[in-house]
Structure 1
Amino acid sequence: MTHAHLRPAGRRRRRPGRTTGVLAAALGLALVLALPGAAVAAPGDLDPTFGPDGRVVTSFPGSAEGHDIARQADGKLVVVGLSEAGFALARYDTDGSLDSAFAGDGTVTSDFGGGNHSANAVAIQPSDGKIVVAGTTEVLAEEGGGCCFFSVARYNTDGTLDSGFGNGGLVRVDEFGGSADGADVAVQPDGKIIAAGKGGGGGFALVRLDAGGNLDPSLGGDGAVVAGFTPASPQDAGGTARGMALQPDGKIVSVGYVGNTAFDIGVARYLPNGSLDPAFSGDGMVTADFGGTEFGNAVAVQPDGKVVAAGSGGVGVALLRYNADGSPDGGFGTGGRTSVRFPGDGGGANAMALQPNGKIVIAGQADDPNSQEGNDFGLARFNTNGTVDTGFGGDGFVVTGFLDWDDARGVLVQPDGKIVAAGYGAGYAFAVARYQGGDGTAPPPPPSADLSVTQTGTATVSIGDRASYTVTVSNSAASTATATGVTLTDTLSGAGAGLTSAAPSQGTCTTTAAGANCALGSLAPGASATVTVTAEPRATGTVTNTANVSATQQDPVTTDNRATATTSVNNARGCTIIGTSGADTLTGGYGNDVICALGGNDTVRASYGNDTVHGGYGNDNIDGGFGDDTLNGGPGNDTLTGYYGNDRLTTTDSVSGNDTANGGTGTDTCTTDPGDIRISCP
């Protein structure tokens, strides 16, 4: 077991009270005494890069308690609790120092008037970083109120109350009446807020609020539900919810304790509409009795859908795991449950976090038998089968002291694997500790976007035709992040090919004759975008179109970020004079020429001989000259003039009225679209 204490040797227990004026001096002396010699950091060791030696204490006016902790996307930590001035919040930088961008000094208190207030839980809105807090507020009886009201508050990222939420940043849920309590809170993927706690008359209570703080009728018809446990015995009535977790399918799992005198752990699962889920133990509720008085304080849902509940019971810490159907998981502990004690006394679990490798971390209260101090932070880690992980703290347990009467109330695991516990200590002040969390397992990778690119293209074309390629960029449905700054680079090579267009389904493309660069914006997991590329070859051979994709995020699989497609080019038309994709002036000779002008607004003079002209794409002006000529305008607004000889003129491009066919002298044949101008055509 790892021990760490911040009090001088021989200090005795004392009654809970305010932080004394000698706190700083005591901490300084204790740090000198507590710092070990240089050693390799082990799982459960305090992290020396956080605060003075892994521990931070923050005082508020009067006494204060930290009750929960959340991590922002930027790595900053938010701790909430109570103080004599009302709701108390503190925000810490990643090194444990108070964040001056939060209300100027890193701390905030909110007095909502009328009495005592306690912030019990915190969640961060992913969309904008606002801080959502659930707890209890009191309205004095002479002001028409009483104690206590289930309440939710929201703060801006700078620590000010969000005036766009509820009444000046606070929502009191009157539906539960007095003696109600908000114990846990979460933000749904759709941005709605859900909180759990106790109803005024007892029972597990749930509340769902929309972004403005209004009760959302999609939960229970009016935004609030209360569920009392089915009384299998007189003690199994009512209940108080203390923790909550959201499943990916929108179901809500709540844990707490039930009963009137001797309490049992209770777990309930709700459908998204607030009704109890009959697929969970038949009626949506399960209870667990370890033979005494038990309290359920925390719950989590594993990736496989199993439900883990933690609290106190049996010999100390109580831990249970249920299958997705509510039956005990026989592969966990004994019959789906385990109970262990901290060395020295039983202890208990107030909070829980799951590591990416499936191990379970609990935080609560313990009493170090080697110390004459009051209660300390107690942490324990369990393997996936419910056994204690002896690689954590040497025996699976870590006890950390601050300055008497310490209690860890919240815990989280950072993306780098480090463990942060928050609560109160040091004479009733906020207390935060960060621990090494490594266990030989690589930390989870940062959120990533797995992009891939594929393409299909025209297999074979002739000089005078265009090849088309459909390039598809996709973000895998298994990605853990939206891809931003998605860029497609498309390059053409071979057969003298030039790019004529690049049309994206989203975003924009800039083009040159050699290729395109397309800014496609963002792609959510499972989303895709396409770019249609067209090219015009000038020679026989093979055109190769190469597409490469990239994004701002790291791509875990880069082998599918490149795709090629090839097109075989022949000279089926027998072209002897070939233009470009631009505006060309082409002149034939004395022989029988086959002129392929390709794209662009071209001017062609066939001159002598029995010539064949293919105008290609664009608005072309074609003069057959002398001889029996065959003139083909192609797509565009073309003017064809046969002049001398028996000529054949074709202006059909499926667009009426844009072309002119002038046969000139001789016996000519004109094939035109309706509305085209025909001159000297039979």
Structure 2
Amino acid sequence: ADGKILIAGYSRNSTYQNYINIVRYSNNGTLDATFDGDGKVIAELDSTNDECNILLLQPDNKLLAIGTKRNATENGYLFKDIALARYNGDGSLDASFGADGKVVSVFAPNDMNKVHQAVLQPDGKIVISNTYYNIYTGNSILHHELIRYTPNGVIDMAFGTSGRVIIDAEPVTMLSQPDGKIIVITLSYDSQSNAFVTLKRYNTNGLIDTSFGNNGTTGFAGIFWGPLTAALHPTGKIIIAESSPNTNGVSTFALTCFNPDGTIDSTFENDPMPGDTGRYSYGIFVEPDGKIIVAGRSTSVSDGGSTFFEFITARYNPDGSIDATYGTGGVVTSYLGSTYEPYNIIRSIVYQPDGKFLVALTKEEQNPASPNPNSYDFVIYRFNADGGYDSEFGTNGQVITSFYNKYDEAFAMVVQPDNKIVVAGTTDTGINRDFSLVRFKNSIALGSSKFEAGAGLILYPNPVKDILHLQATDATGIIDYSIYNMLGKLLDKSTGDSLKVDVSDFSSGIYNVHINTNKGTLSKKFVKE
């Protein structure tokens, strides 16, 4: 594992055809030449336009890009099929997946599909949430569904009915539990435009899990002015971040917490954050110690009256209260751009183990030399944990990448276990729009070879090759420990006062260890070589 960064998106050429892109960056934000020779990959599904908006990182370090492929009927109607492509670590297509690394699913002729999100299950299966309608029906009746694929890209007929499960509202996000169950979160409105967030949990076979909530369903009503995001807490609780009005009537962060059984956690504080600037959540992350980070965008007005965007993060305690020790009043902000840049919209956020944030977006650039003076590029910002651009990343904390100086749109980003960044999206080649990936190098500061994990407690060696020692000294006693990967998946758990943990089978990368002692709880990171 090498920690490089990947971003997914798409770009457009002069004949309005799309290519799906993946870009990988090295540790300082430079392109990673070990990824397809120049850090960039373009995958054409066929001669049509493709759009990529999802990127998943598999445990084996392979990359799964998901989106749609556009076609046209004899009558000129446009429709979109579901498309997937899987890449090896060097950027080549994985021939063991689908047909030469690519899968296109056509369930009915002339369906217009919109893929919302995808998750990997512990057994390697892929679940996609999708909305579709048929362009020949003469109306826009929307149908919502889940679709599951086997690890080699075949529709899993053991899931639901012929690999599909019908859901009754538009899915906004999904969570995959360690036991393989899936939580689907939808947003719907009644005839009076009242909004409802609904959570449903499905068993591994696609049937509703009736032990969750009320016969598999739970939820809440509210007013939502922006995206909804969700995360699983290490305790199994489900935390949803909303963009809701506060007492000042402006959009701000709000959290809602559910217990693992689907009941509302009444002990969790869920009042919207105070403030007088608009705040919209785009990502939620749970730290190993149970604290919660919400990241997104705020809109502010300068003293001169101009409006601008800021990248904003807020940290909450495990009970939902604001962590006043973080930033100023629990909030950290950094300048992102002016509101006159309409494409300066956050697409993906990654929270690094060192507390820094990577933000991927599409940025509109002025290009006077082009027949069309506006071009659209992949952009990554890296912000320090305490706010402000990270000057060690790219140029003043920013990296801009273009494929054909035309139309490149970033949609998704992951950080590999070796810290490299991969961004995926769509690019316009001048002939088609295709999937595109870019990989960059990325540096993350880590601990020393042996460090104090707390009073009377040591964790060594770090980095580690095979055996990690958790050792209590003095009067400190270890009650239990849990080890998680950077995706939040529990890998190991045990008890004892003096422990030797065999990590020889772990992939190279960064891991979190959560230790409960008779003097309290602490969380540390270690590196597997």
TM-score, normalising length: structure 1? 0.56
Partner in structure 2 of residue 517 of structure 1? none
Partner in structure 1 of residue 398 of structure 2? 397
Equivalences for residues 246-645 of structure 1 within 5 A: 246-258=232-244, 265-281=253-269, 284=270, 286=272, 291-292=277-278, 295-314=280-299, 315-324=308-317, 325-335=319-329, 336-342=331-337, 345=341, 347-368=344-365, 372-403=373-404, 404-426=406-428, 428-441=433-446, 450=468, 477-478=481-482, 525-526=493-494, 553=505
Query: Structure 2 vs 1, CA of residues 53 and 241 (structure 1 numbering), >3 Å: closer, same or farther?
Result: same
How far did residue 140 of structure 1 move? 7.0
How far did residue 209 of structure 1 move? 0.9
Partner in structure 2 of residue 625 of structure 1? none
Equivalences for residues 44-55 of structure 1 within 5 A: 44-55=29-40
Q: Is the 8 A contact 1:450 1:479 kept in 2?
A: no
User: Which region of structure 1 is more displaced relative to structure 2, 432-441 or 324-333?
Assistant: 324-333
Larger Rg: 1
1:306-344 CA distances to partner (integer Å, 9 max, x unpaired)?
322233332235322131233344444443141422599
Partner in structure 2 of residue 168 of structure 1? 162
CA distance in 2, matches of 1:290, 1:254: 22
Query: Structure 2 vs 1, CA of residues 79 and 306 (structure 1 numbering), >3 Å: closer, same or farther?
Result: same
3-state SS of paired residue (1:103): coil
Question: Considering only aligned residues, what root-mean-square deviation do their CA atoms show, in Å?
Answer: 4.1
Query: Structure 2 vs 1, CA of residues 396 and 264 (structure 1 numbering), >3 Å: closer, same or farther?
Result: same
Q: Is the 8 A contact 2:359 2:382 kept in 1?
A: yes
1:582-641 CA distances to partner (integer Å, 9 max, x unpaired)?
xxxxxxxxxxxxxxxxxxxxxxxxxxxxxxxxxxxxxxxxxxxxxxxxxxxxxxxxxxxx
3-state SS of paired residue (2:272): strand
Equivalences for residues 123-142 of structure 1 within 5 A: 123-126=119-122, 128-138=123-133, 142=137
3-state SS of paired residue (2:417): coil
CA distance in 1, matches of 2:409, 2:272: 28
Code of the residue aligned with 2:396 in structure 1: it is D
CA distance in 1, matches of 2:465, 2:81: 37
3-state SS of paired residue (2:407): coil
Code of the residue aligned with 2:403 in structure 1: it is F
CA distance in 2, matches of 1:206, 1:101: 35
Query: Structure 2 vs 1, CA of residues 108 and 289 (structure 1 numbering), >3 Å: closer, same or farther?
Result: farther
1:450-474 CA distances to partner (integer Å, 9 max, x unpaired)?
4899xxxxxxxxxxxxxxxxxxxxx
Code of the residue aligned with 1:358 in structure 2: it is G
CA distance in 2, matches of 1:191, 1:390: 41
Partner in structure 2 of residue 211 of structure 1? 204
3-state SS of paired residue (1:375): strand
Number of residue pairs the alignment of both structures matches: 432
CA distance in 2, matches of 1:14, 1:51: 21
How far did residue 407 of structure 1 move? 2.6
Q: Which structure has the higher relative contact order (CA within 8 Å, separation 6+)?
A: 2
3-state SS of paired residue (1:416): strand
Query: Structure 2 vs 1, CA of residues 112 and 244 (structure 1 numbering), >3 Å: closer, same or farther?
Result: farther
How far did residue 212 of structure 1 move? 0.3
How far did residue 425 of structure 1 move? 2.6
Confirm or deny that 1:158 pairs with 2:159.
Answer: no
Partner in structure 1 of residue 74 of structure 2? none
Moved over 6 A (4+): 13-16, 548-551
How far did residue 213 of structure 1 move? 0.6
CA distance in 1, matches of 2:140, 2:281: 27
3-state SS of paired residue (1:280): coil
CA distance in 2, matches of 1:448, 1:171: 43
CA distance in 2, matches of 1:15, 1:332: 47
TM-score, normalising length: structure 2? 0.70
How far did residue 265 of structure 1 move? 5.0
Query: Structure 2 vs 1, CA of residues 14 and 276 (structure 1 numbering), >3 Å: closer, same or farther?
Result: farther
Q: Is the 8 A contact 2:468 2:501 kept in 1?
A: no
How far did residue 433 of structure 1 move? 1.3
Q: Is the 8 A contact 1:342 1:366 kept in 2?
A: no
How far did residue 15 of structure 1 move? 8.5
CA distance in 2, matches of 1:166, 1:208: 13
Partner in structure 2 of residue 116 of structure 1? 112
1:441-500 CA distances to partner (integer Å, 9 max, x unpaired)?
4799589664899xxxxxxxxxxxxxxxxxxxxxx845569xxxxxxxxxxxxxxxxxxx
Query: Structure 2 vs 1, CA of residues 398 and 19 (structure 1 numbering), >3 Å: closer, same or farther?
Result: same
Percent identity for Structure 1 against Structure 2: 29
Query: Structure 2 vs 1, CA of residues 313 and 110 (structure 1 numbering), >3 Å: closer, same or farther?
Result: farther
Q: Is the 8 A contact 1:317 1:340 kept in 2?
A: yes
Query: Structure 2 vs 1, CA of residues 321 and 73 (structure 1 numbering), >3 Å: closer, same or farther?
Result: same
Code of the residue aligned with 1:69 in structure 2: it is L
Q: Is the 8 A contact 1:83 1:118 kept in 2?
A: no
Instruction: Give 1 or 2: higher strand fraction.
Output: 2
Code of the residue aligned with 1:173 in structure 2: it is I
Query: Structure 2 vs 1, CA of residues 399 and 195 (structure 1 numbering), >3 Å: closer, same or farther?
Result: farther
CA distance in 2, matches of 1:162, 1:438: 39
Code of the residue aligned with 2:320 in structure 1: it is G
CA distance in 1, matches of 2:420, 2:227: 28
Partner in structure 2 of residue 198 of structure 1? 187
User: Which region of structure 1 is more displaced relative to structure 2, 73-82 or 379-388?
Assistant: 379-388
1:530-574 CA distances to partner (integer Å, 9 max, x unpaired)?
xxxxxxxxxxxxxxxxxx998954899xxxxxxxxxxxxxxxxxx
Code of the residue aligned with 1:397 in structure 2: it is Q
1:29-80 CA distances to partner (integer Å, 9 max, x unpaired)?
xx9xxxxxxxx96511111111241121223353322112111111100111
Query: Structure 2 vs 1, CA of residues 241 and 162 (structure 1 numbering), >3 Å: closer, same or farther?
Result: farther
CA distance in 2, matches of 1:224, 1:152: 16
